[in-house]
Structure 1
């Protein structure tokens, strides 16, 4: 039996989803949440196999909750089920750890099949969402690449080391460190050390 947690701020939507999913063999709705924080608490308590998560709810953004549940190491799969399919929403959800992105206009059988597929470990995307995501990935700027030495310099910057301290620890002249920093700034399109560290961490370069 696949155990499902519903997270949506509209009671009538939750009631409809419960009826649809409970009518399908092998599916059971074990809990309902009206916002993100409630979903997080119930996911930790009930340990469902899958969470169907709306995105825009009062009292907590769905994407933030997805990120927190993913970071907490919960074993449940989290699939977005929403009416919104903007590029920003899709990318944020996927980057936060969502295992899929579905739209509320899908048929009952399609939703049930998607739930089963997600629990099997597959990524489930509504066709229009998949197309938008592919377009975004194709047009996204290529992530900059730091050399091993540049990455080493930036890690020391993140630790708060000065150029002189970095030079001593890497056995290079301070002028060489400055050259590395200029190249890092250029690659990351930033103008100061804090921005360089922040940008590199956001892009997974550190």
Structure 2
């Protein structure tokens, strides 16, 4: 029950970020809403591949963490991050080279493609910025360490998505939404990285 409650709060934080992202996109304009929705598909496409590594992390970390085999646990996490970085780099290169073509795949409206191209460079860096958060999610779930997962998500959402957006939106407009999204993903990975030594103890 405790683990489920923590994950429920964590999930609410994720829903709050993405719902707010969509809502504010609509408030800026229809073209921006359509462009942001198309660009979010880039993040979802990447997440489908990284989720496989996260699921593997849940199983393997659960095994070695439960056995208190710290040596194998660290080696396993190292391999997971090795592959996670490789996938992040691969998708970053893919989005940098073929981002405009992918936009045309997600929408046939030229005005939406033109609007999306203005913000495409934010999405290009998203895989490299976000891959640690996916790997750490699997690690922490495998270790049933739900409290730091919950806390990191709430802090990342409040301090690194919502706060930067409200401060910078009057000056940056839609760019503030994408900056907040990148900071949100980056903060999740950094916070969970900093908390990991305590988890091992």
TM-score category, normalised to shorter length:
under 0.3
Alignment TM-score, normalising by the size of structure 1: 0.25
Give the structure with the larger helix fraction.
2
Structure scoring higher RCO (CA < 8 A, sep ≥ 6) equals: 2
Alignment TM-score, normalising by the size of structure 2: 0.26
Q: Highest CA radius of gyration, 1 or 2?
A: 1
Give the structure with the larger strand fraction.
1
